Structures are given as C-alpha cells and as structure tokens.
C-alpha cells in the first residue's frame, strides 16, 4: 500500500467517508453508533460535564444486501494488537450474539506503523487462543484491505467474500 495517507490520523473518519459513499451510491446503509452519555452539567449551551451512561456495543452497524453488518474499528501503534485491552468482553459478547443471529460481524484493525488495515471476521477472532495479534496473524485469519480512491476503505469487497463463503451467495 502506498503511504500517501496517514490512516492513523483519522481511521474512523475514513470509515465514515466510505460509509457515506456506500450510502450515496445506495450500496449499503451503515452508520456510526453514538456512545450513550448522560449530561451532568451544561454551561452556556456547552456540555461541561458528562459520563458514559452505559457500555456501548460496537462502533458501526447497518444493512448491506439484506444482511445486518456490525463491526468494531480499532487501531494500534504497536507491532501487536492486544485483544484483551482493545476489545472488552461486552463487545465480544455483542459480536457473538449478532453472529449467532445471522449477522455479519468483524473487527477492522489498523496497524498504524505499517499503514495496513485488516478485516478480521468475528468467527476467526473468537478462535484466537493468544492475547494479541501480530501482522502475520492478521494475514492468516483476516483480509488486508488495500487503499482505494472511493471508498477509501472498501471493506464491503471482503464482506462479499464472507457472504459467499458463509451462505454460498
């Protein structure tokens, strides 16, 4: 992949732009879920104090070709992606529940130091026995997503492969 962009600066921003492209093109409708917060104090129309109301599930969900899509986006500056500190149990439980209900679930992982993005299907991630993933692990259990013009992060190409493998469509 060319190092023409610094993916690490705004990984979720690039995902949001990709999702906007999918939506405008009527390909998929996938949205960033807001983190539930409880506002404690407001001063002159500005929130000055708030707390997380409850644990959030995952970053994104929506619909693509009749399938529910649900995924988390994570990045690391390290050479290894620490699973236990980056994906809390409540998110793993959520991904497992959605998977069992027929949804397509995965984690997008950006290795900032290598400018490499991987889509790791939840089914593959749930079979990992160690507490971290290195770059080589991601090549083994996931799919590298190459940079493209529009959408920047074309993860639906990989979702198509998952659907074909899982459902034969």
pLDDT in tens, 44-53: 888 777 665 5
- CA separation for the pair 23, 117 (Å, rounded): 22
Neighbours of 116 (CB within 10 A): 18
Residue pair 79/113 in contact by the 8 Å Cβ criterion: yes
Percent of the chain scored above 90 by pLDDT?
62
Find tokens 């690490």 and name the residue: 8
Q: What is the pLDDT of residue 37?
A: 64
- Which stretches of 25-114 are DSSP H helices? 83-86, 89-100
The alpha carbons of the chain give a radius of gyration, in whole angstroms, of 17
Find tokens 């130091």 and name the residue: 113
Confidence of residue 39 (pLDDT cuts 50, 70, 90): confident
Residue 8 has pLDDT above 50, yes or no: no
Residue 108 has pLDDT above 50, yes or no: yes
Q: Which residue has the higher pLDDT, 127 or 37?
A: 127
What are the extents of the domains in the chain?
A: 7-167
Residue pair 90/52 in contact by the 8 Å Cβ criterion: no
Residue 4 has pLDDT above 70, yes or no: no
- CA separation for the pair 88, 125 (Å, rounded): 13
Q: Which residue has the higher pLDDT, 145 or 2?
A: 145
Confidence of residue 147 (pLDDT cuts 50, 70, 90): confident
Q: What are phi and psi of 53, to 5 degrees?
A: -75, -40
Confidence of residue 129 (pLDDT cuts 50, 70, 90): confident
Q: Which residue has the higher pLDDT, 4 or 114?
A: 114
Cα–Cα–Cα angle for 88, 29, 167, rounded to 5 degrees = 75
Considering the segment(s) 7-167 as one domain, its CATH architecture is 3-Layer(aba) Sandwich (3.40)
């Amino acid at each position: 992949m060319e190092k023409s962009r610094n993916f690490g600066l705004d990984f979720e921003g690039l995902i949001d732009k990709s999702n906007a492209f999918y939506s405008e093109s009527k390909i998929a409708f996938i949205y960033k879920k807001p983190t539930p917060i409880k506002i404690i104090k407001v001063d002159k129309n500005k929130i000055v104090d708030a707390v997380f109301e409850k644990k959030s599930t995952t970053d994104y969900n929506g619909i693509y070709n009749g399938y529910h899509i649900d995924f988390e986006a994570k990045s690391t500056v390290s050479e290894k992606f620490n699973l236990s500190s980056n994906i809390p149990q409540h998110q793993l439980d959520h991904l497992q529940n959605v998977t069992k209900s027929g949804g397509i679930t995965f984690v997008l992982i950006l290795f900032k130091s290598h400018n490499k993005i991987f889509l790791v299907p939840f089914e593959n991630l749930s079979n990992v026995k160690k507490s971290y993933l290195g770059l080589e692990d991601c090549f083994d259990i996931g799919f590298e997503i190459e940079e493209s013009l529009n959408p920047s992060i074309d993860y639906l190409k990989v979702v198509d492969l998952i659907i074909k493998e899982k459902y034969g469509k």
